[in-house]
Every structure is written in structure tokens, then in C-alpha cells.
Structure 1
Amino acid sequence: MAAAVLTDAAARAGAAIMRLYHEGAKVRLKDDASPVTEADKASEAIVIDALQRLAPDIPIVSEEIACDRSADLGPRFFLVDPLDGTKEFIQKRSDFTVNIALVENGLPRFGLVYAPARSMLATTPGAGTAIEVTVDPSERGAGLAALDCRTLQVRVPSPDGLVAVVSRSHLDPATEAFLAKLKIAGRSDVGSALKFLEVARGVADVYPRFGPTMEWDTAAGHAILIAAGGHVEDAEGKPLRYGKTETGLRNPGFVAWGLSAPVC
């Protein structure tokens, strides 16, 4: 039910984003100096409306909604990033996404990531199931049941080494130092939550991120990766958890893995 309703909302949000992508969206800087555009707001309005209709009793935390991020959220809440990869959007790249996740007891239980410029959507229609579908942005929405689904599954790494995917905009010395300890056969860079999907679909084996992220940046991709057979751990090797109001919903550094432990 959630996957179908939110696929429809994502297609409509994607249409609003792509209209402003082609027309040119006004950009302003937030208090933290990160950019925000009209497309962020347009997408957010559509997604929030769909979530409120779907589950009116579940709290929603979205990047662009001003709220007390130290307040208790309870055991279940939605995390939304209406336009993850705003810098890529501004630069007219294609690797920006709409991210929607449901968190239960600190772990992401549902995820949807939609890249409207690529007509690519990944979601978790059921426990332990991750799928990818082709969805064109449309003001009329989209019906998930009518689409051809491809199952996402992490892969067994090659004996030749791991393929790493890294952030295009936030590659830092800590990431380079981490990768230097592994047997790396190849690497790629991409923006937004698409990095999680590279691991989930078996294109890459590991995605390290030690720079700052917020929970809405990661929860949807994290849920999809779990359903595809992977996992995400913090610097202590524990599962990355959500609802960290003591940090204002900021994540620590983390590593997203595919099927196996690191190959050294």
C-alpha cells in the first residue's frame, strides 16, 4: 500500500522538480549555507500531502520543514528529503532524488528513492524485497502495479577486489584513508542517495561516508539496501540508527556494505 501510494506521489513530485529543472529554479542559501530551491519546496508539498493522507497519525520530519529536531519523535516516523542532491540539480546533472523513509524503533523499515531525471525509482514493497522500476515524471502520477519490476540484490564481490562508490561533492581525506585499507578494484562517484542504490543493485560493493549527513539523506537508501541484502554500520560497527534527536538528527560517519565483509 505505502509503496503504491508513494510511487504515485513521487512521480508527481518528480514532474514538479523537472519543470523547474528545465525552466530554471531560483536558488537561495539556508542558514547552514546549503542551497535550497523552489523545486525542494514544490516536491515537499506533494510528498507531505501524500504521507498525511496515507498515515495521518505518524509524524513527518522533512529537510525543509522547520521543527524542533531535538524533540522526541516516538517509535515510528517518516523521514523525507524532497530533493536530495540540490547541488546536482542546480548543476543540471541527473543524480538528484526524492527520498521517503519510514523508521520504526530506530531502523528504516520502508524506503523509496526516485531519480526523476533518470526515470528510475527504487522502493521496498514488502519486508526483505527491494525493486527498481522505470517511472517517468508525471503530473498524473503513476501506478506501481502496472510497472515492470526488477529485483535488487547485492552481489558477492569479485576476488579481484571491491568496487567502491563515493560522494561526488563530499569526497574527503577520511574516505580516502578508509579505502586505502581495502583491496579496491574500481571506484565511481555519484550524487545523492543513488550511492546506496549502486550497492543495492550489485554495481558496487561499498559506500563509505565520513562527512556530515542528516538522517533524511540516508534512511530511504538504507532501507532499500537492507532489503537487497546489504547493511549499513557506524564507525563502531553497529547498525546505523535513526531518531538521534540528541544530535539534532545528524548521522555519524558510516559505511554501507553489500553482501560480505570487506576484502583486505
Structure 2
Amino acid sequence: MNSRHKTLVRRVLSGDQSSNQALRELCLEAKTLRGSERFALISPAFLHFFSHRKPPTLQEKPPNLLPLSEERLALDTFRAILAMFDIFLNVGDPPRQIRQIMSSFTETIPHFITWASYLVEAFVENDLLTVRLLGDSSLHTLSIVSELLLAIIFATEQEIHAIKGVGNLIFRVFIYGLLVEPHSSSSLEKLDEITLSGVNLIGKMSENWEEFCTGAPDSFWPAESLASSLWKSCFIAGPPCRVHPTSHAA
């Protein structure tokens, strides 16, 4: 750890107004490192962040209704969370090493899931602040969230019951993107990736198939929508482990 790294870590641990920016910078620095070195750098900052930051409850105080000062803080925190998510998706190490690295982060996994749930909920509820601030990157953000959920399960070999509602999250991600940007080719490609993530996850957890689908009822989507057709043909019948999602969406 060089002097810049130490400075950034101290700024994160200070918890002052610059801590979120410092965390994002630290994540960028970490991307230049390999495997265990990367996570040794960010581990103290991650643990500190999650012990002090809790996502807001949308039902109590939607982010788009926050005072401007709190809105900026919420955005800053949001960006820091995304930077941390991105770290876990750019590891570039063998699966065994990823499992070893993730095993040291088991106490943060519930916090990751909580934040992932919050982000998806914000999109689904058409949170104006989040959508406005992210703009064209909203689908990219959602794909990060869905891939993160998969990464946690694959890398830590978590049982599906340990991650409540993950099936619902994956499909709400898909539906949100489908309704927001249905005509963009890049968006369709991204939605395809997100949906395939859900298909792969169901395939891996097929023995827990019914539990996986808990919380994502058929009535969640309009009866005649493309999403409803996807849900009925793909998932009500059972886990489609080897089926590409676009074949069902056609």
C-alpha cells in the first residue's frame, strides 16, 4: 500500500463529507491491483462503509423528495456503492481465488443485498432522482446489480435461502429496463444479458426453484405484456437451464 492508498483509506475512515469521493477513488486505484492485493486495499474501507451507511427506506422518504443537501449526499453515496459493486465484477482472477477473496467479505454480503434491493426498488418505483441522475447509464447500473447478485452466489456458494428475494430482484431489473427503453438496440442487448443472468441463476439453483421464485408472482406484470409471456413460458414451467432468454422474448 503506497502513500496515496493510505491517504485515501484515512479519508474513507474519517467519515467526513469527502469520504464518498475518497471511496470511489480508492476503488479506481484498486482496479490497477491484482487479486488479494486489490481486496487487501479496499477491505477496511468496505467494512467501515457498510457499518455506517444504510440505504434509505423508499416508503418512508423517497430520494426524489429529499432536501437538496441530502439529495447530493444520497447521490454521492449511491455512486460510491456502484464503484464498490464494480470492483466485484472486474476481479479477473480464477474462480477459486474469487471464492477465497469473497469468503473474507461474508459479513458485508447482507449489506450488499440490502443495497441491491434498494437500488432495484428505486428503479421499479420510478424514483425520479435516481433515473434523472443516471440517465442513459440506468440499464448499465441495473446490470451491475444483477451481476453482483450472481457473483455473490457463485463465489461464496451461498444457499438461495440466504439471499431472500433475489429472484424477484433479477426479474424486476429486467422489467424496468424493458419498459424504459424498449426500442434501443444497446438496451435490448443489456436486457438480454440481465435476463440470461436470471436464467443461469435459476439453472444453478434449480433444486430451490420454488423458493427462488417466491415474491415474483405472475400478477406482477400486465397480463398481455412481453414480460408476462416471458415469465409464463420461461419460468412457470420450471427452470430453463439451457434456454437462451431471447428465444422466449421473441
TM-score (norm 1): 0.27
Q: Name whichever structure is richer in strand by fraction.
A: 1
Q: Highest Rg: 1 or 2? A: 2
Q: Name whichever structure is richer in helix by fraction.
A: 2
TM-score (norm 2): 0.28
Q: Between the two structures, name the one with larger relative contact order (CA 8 Å, sep ≥ 6).
A: 1
